[in-house]
């Protein structure tokens, strides 16, 4: 779970092999969830006692399981890592005070986004917009091939006047249907870098970046 209040941001279960079994969105309320169930013909089913609430389980055009939930248990906030004090331009918040972030595990605050690859990119994109009310923040195109249409989209939750992350889901055209990665929010860049050093000292190797 993350340090922010809410439902768990990741569920891991022991299995015979490593695999991605889907991801979930939280509906605004139970009425929204029931509207989705009615529109798709999918049943609303109770979740486990540890999570609580109801879920509607769907499958996107790429075969990726998608769960929408409502009324799940809200876990209380945990103590969060404090961000380092950063001087920017003429705004000086730290003078003659050394900062040495400890090499400890980065404390996840919440799930930031999920990235998927699809052979049915446009069909999958329309599905998420139509079924979940998501909206596109940005499109990417192959250089010099804009007339062929987008090949990747960064998609956010439509929260009206309430600010939302630039993207909760990123969807890319690719040679196969697959989960690419998840990103998790931490307090700042130093927490991520120090957490990466902590893992490196214990035999883990980065595939990309400093985290």
Residue 61 CA to residue 58 CA, distance in Å, equals 10
Residue 203 CA to residue 198 CA, distance in Å, equals 9
> Is 144 among the domain residues?
yes
pLDDT of residue 202: 96
> Is 91 among the domain residues?
no
- Give this prediction's pTM: 0.89
pLDDT of residue 114: 98
Q: What's the total number of domains in the chain?
A: 1
132: number of Cβ within 10 Å: 20
Q: State the alpha helices, DSSP H only, in the chain.
A: 30-40, 121-132, 189-200
pLDDT of residue 211: 64
169 phi and psi, to 5 degrees?
Answer: -135, 135
> Is 86 among the domain residues?
no
Q: Tell me the C-alpha to C-alpha distance, in Å, between residue 200 and each of 100, 191, 194.
A: 18, 14, 10
Q: What is the pLDDT along the chain (211 residues), one digit of tens a residue?
A: 999 998 889 999 999 999 999 999 999 999 999 999 999 999 999 999 989 999 999 999 999 999 999 999 999 999 989 999 999 999 999 999 999 989 999 999 999 999 999 999 999 999 999 999 999 999 999 999 999 999 999 999 999 999 999 999 999 999 999 999 999 999 999 999 999 999 999 999 988 887 6
Residue 157 CA to residue 166 CA, distance in Å, equals 9
What is the DSSP secondary structure assignment for residue 75, as one 8-state letter?
Answer: B
> Is 1 among the domain residues?
no
pLDDT of residue 50: 87
* Vertex 101 angle, CA 98 and 107, to 5°: 150
pLDDT of residue 34: 97
What is the DSSP secondary structure assignment for residue 148, as one 8-state letter?
Answer: G
Residue 112 CA to residue 1 CA, distance in Å, equals 13
pLDDT of residue 208: 82
pLDDT of residue 209: 81
Q: Tell me the C-alpha to C-alpha distance, in Å, between residue 209 and each of 140, 152, 160.
A: 22, 21, 34
pLDDT of residue 33: 97
> Is 53 among the domain residues?
yes
Query: Looking at residue 166, which CATH number applies to its domain?
Result: 3.10.180.10
pLDDT of residue 7: 86
> Is 11 among the domain residues?
no
* 3-state class (DSSP) for residue 44: strand
Q: Write out the residue range of the structural domain in which residue 112 sits.
A: 23-74+105-200
> Is 190 among the domain residues?
yes
* Vertex 126 angle, CA 121 and 129, to 5°: 125
Q: Tell me the C-alpha to C-alpha distance, in Å, between residue 197 and each of 82, 94, 136, 188.
A: 18, 24, 35, 15
């Amino acid at each position: 779970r993350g340090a922010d209040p809410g439902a768990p941001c990741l569920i891991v279960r022991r299995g015979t092999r490593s695999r991605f079994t889907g991801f979930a969105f939280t509906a605004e309320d139970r009425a929204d969830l029931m509207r989705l169930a009615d529109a798709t013909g999918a049943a609303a089913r109770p979740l486990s006692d540890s999570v609580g609430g109801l879920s509607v389980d769907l499958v996107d055009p790429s075969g990726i399981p998608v769960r929408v939930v409502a009324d799940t248990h809200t876990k209380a906030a945990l103590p969060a890592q404090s961000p380092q004090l950063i001087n920017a331009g003429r705004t000086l918040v730290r003078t003659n005070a050394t900062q040495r972030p400890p090499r400890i595990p980065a404390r996840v605050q919440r799930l930031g986004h999920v990235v998927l690859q699809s052979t049915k990119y446009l069909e999958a994109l329309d599905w998420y917009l139509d079924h979940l009310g998501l909206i596109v923040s940005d499109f990417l195109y192959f250089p010099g091939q804009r007339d062929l249409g987008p090949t990747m989209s960064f998609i956010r939750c439509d929260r009206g006047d309430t600010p939302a992350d630039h993207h909760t889901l990123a969807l890319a055209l690719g040679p196969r249907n697959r989960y690419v990665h998840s990103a998790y929010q931490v307090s700042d860049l130093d927490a991520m870098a120090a957490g990466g050093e902590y893992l490196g000292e214990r035999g883990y190797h980065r595939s990309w970046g400093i985290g």
